[in-house]
């Protein structure tokens, strides 16, 4: 089973939940942890993997051979992202906003544009105890992360319980990370901001037709608004993690929740089993 751990906003506790779930399940089956939050991966801070490989990830971007170019402007016409600008005697390319669709070199009548590889980041992987670990690191200054997220997901092991830590929000990188998952855990907090962004995340998985459930992190016992929303949208609240100073201090020191309070292990095992049951409905 492939479970994505997402949220509408940052800082709700996705990594706390994803790491805890991976450590809890690893005692009974093969587990793989995918950190798809490639702009700021932090799963390694808690799982502390022994990284055994690093591979560069590239995407094709256009290079113009000026000697062949007639400056007809066809490339700029077909580029939906305005990554090329045609001047009277020069073509400017902006690889930072290129989406590597290939339209410019496919439609150039003079075949004056060729694709060249540009590095956008890298993938690192290894072992964190019994957990297979993979994360992506986006190169500083690179604006487009979905191809790197897809490269992380391409490392998915079909025979493992796969848990993905997803970027915050509901934008393209999040959708790329969540799509294809069997179940999505939406982590929220009992605040107006948390509820607002939970609503957006719930709509996202509904559009993707992915079953899901909600985890309330830093619960202060006043979760009525979140619970009301979940009832109205048929999203079950699967777990509540309390607002606890001991957990927060451990997190600040790079300690997983299960290392600080081992009694939570059974709750996360039950959470995984619940996801499996709901996935089969």
User: Sign of the CA dihedral 198, 199, 205, 210?
Assistant: positive
> How big is the chain, counted in residues?
281
| 53 lies in the same domain as 131 | yes
Q: Answer yes or no: are the C-beta atoms of 46 and 254 closer than 8 Å.
A: yes
Measured over all CA atoms, what is the biggest interatomic distance in the chain, rounded to whole angstroms?
Answer: 70
Phi, psi of 137 (to 5 degrees): -125, 115
The reply to whether 66 and 189 lie within a common domain is: no
**Domain tally for the chain?**
2
* Same-domain pairing of 7 and 107: no
**Is residue 113 domain-shared with residue 126, that is, in the same domain?**
no
Distance CA 43, CA 174 (A): 16
* DSSP-derived 3-state class of residue 54: strand
Q: Are residues 213 and 144 in the same domain?
A: yes
Cα(182)–Cα(38) distance, integer angstroms: 21
Task: Look at the pTM and tell me if it is higher than 0.85.
Answer: yes
Per-residue pLDDT tens digits of the chain, which is 281 residues long: 999 999 988 889 999 999 999 999 999 999 999 999 999 999 999 999 999 999 999 999 999 999 999 999 999 999 999 999 999 999 999 999 999 999 999 999 999 999 999 999 999 999 999 999 999 999 999 989 999 999 999 999 999 999 999 999 999 999 999 999 999 999 999 999 999 999 999 999 999 999 999 999 999 988 999 999 999 999 999 999 999 999 999 999 999 999 999 999 999 999 999 999 998 66
Q: Hey, what are 234's tokens?
A: 């048929």
């Amino acid at each position: 089973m492939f479970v994505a751990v997402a949220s509408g906003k940052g800082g709700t506790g996705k990594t706390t939940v994803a790491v805890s779930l991976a450590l809890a399940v690893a005692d009974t089956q093969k587990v793989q942890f995918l950190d798809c939050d490639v702009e700021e991966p932090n799963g390694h801070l808690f799982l502390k993997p022994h990284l055994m490989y690093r591979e560069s990830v590239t995407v094709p971007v256009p290079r113009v051979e000026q000697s062949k170019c007639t400056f007809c402007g066809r490339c700029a016409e077909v580029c939906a992202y305005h990554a090329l600008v045609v001047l009277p005697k020069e073509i400017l390319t902006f690889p930072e906003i290129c989406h590597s669709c290939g339209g410019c070199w496919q439609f150039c009548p003079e075949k004056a544009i060729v694709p060249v590889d540009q590095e956008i980041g890298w993938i690192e992987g290894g072992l964190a105890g019994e957990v297979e670990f993979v994360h992506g690191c986006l190169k500083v200054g690179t604006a487009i992360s979905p191809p790197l997220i897809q490269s992380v997901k391409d490392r998915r092991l079909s025979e493992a319980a796969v848990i993905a830590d997803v970027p915050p929000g509901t934008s393209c990188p999040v959708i790329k990370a969540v799509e294809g998952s069997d179940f999505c855990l939406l982590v929220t907090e009992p605040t107006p901001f948390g509820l607002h962004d939970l609503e957006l995340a719930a709509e996202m998985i509904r559009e993707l037709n992915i079953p899901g459930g909600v985890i309330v992190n830093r619960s202060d016992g006043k979760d009525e608004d979140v619970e009301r929303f979940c009832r109205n949208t048929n999203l079950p609240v699967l777990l509540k993690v309390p607002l606890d100073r001991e957990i927060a201090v451990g997190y600040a020191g790079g300690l997983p929740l299960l290392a600080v309070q081992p009694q939570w292990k059974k709750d996360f095992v039950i959470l995984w089993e619940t996801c499996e049951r709901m996935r089969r409905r």
